[in-house]
Amino acid sequence: MPRQYWQDPAREALADRDFMAWLPIDFHNGVIEAEVKAGLAPGAPAFARGFVGLAFRYDGARFESFYLRPTNGVADDQVRRNHAVQYAAFPDWRFDRLRRESPERYETAADIAPGRWVHMRIVVTGAQARLYLDHRASPVLIVNDLKLGADLRGGVGLWIETATIAHFRNIKVMPQ
């Protein structure tokens, strides 16, 4: 992410944003897979985590997403580790609101690290989405109440946030 787009907590509260490359397809229900790898850019601020993820049902203004915070996966602080994976819905259901109103419900710990490829698989059906990591049989995070509802449809995005250098490969979108 170019430095001019990095967030500055001195000017604004830190929040999820819509910085992504999106694939203009018609996705409603189905499966999205990709391998992602992220790390911190040189000079990254202390709040940077190497944010990288996948957005879905992007309608031009709103989207749902799952994203990773790779530095949290290896942090010495257990609370940070518990915030390694996040669900969010832009623009009204960002991480800070979800964490405040429903602690621990929309984020979890995961075995991830900066600079390591992680396979993400998202299965979306109606108002439910499940995130699987590294080809495991069980989901790492289940959201049974997608905040934008069961009917939204739209594109798929490759999402990043402040001070991140991210890579994506083997992207597959399989609408149902």
> How far apart are the C-alpha atoms of 130 and 118, rounded to whole Å?
16
> How far apart are the C-alpha atoms of 121 and 129, rounded to whole Å?
10
pLDDT along the chain (176 residues), means of 10: 80 79 95 98 93 97 97 97 98 97 97 98 98 98 98 96 95 97
- Tokens 């999402």, residue? 159
Q: Which two tokens stand for residue 43?
A: 């000079």
- Dihedrals phi, psi of 155, to nearest 5 degrees: -80, 175
DSSP 8-state code for residue 104: T
The total of structural domains in the chain comes to 1
Query: Any idea what the CATH number is for the domain that residue 65 is in?
Result: 2.60.120.560
**Amino acid type, 165:** I
CB within 8 A of 10, min separation 6: which ones?
none
Write out the residue range of the structural domain in which residue 42 sits. 3-175
> How far apart are the C-alpha atoms of 14 and 129, rounded to whole Å?
25
- Dihedrals phi, psi of 48, to nearest 5 degrees: -65, 145
Which pLDDT score is estimated for 92? Answer: 97
| Whether the Cβ atoms of residue 28 and residue 153 lie closer than 8 Å to each other | yes
Which pLDDT score is estimated for 141? Answer: 98
Which pLDDT score is estimated for 154? Answer: 97
Half-sphere exposure of 117 toward its Cβ, with a 13 Å CA cutoff? 9
Which pLDDT score is estimated for 7? Answer: 79
Which pLDDT score is estimated for 16? Answer: 76
Which of these, 173, 169, 129, 163, lies nearest to 19 by C-alpha position? 163
Which pLDDT score is estimated for 101? Answer: 98
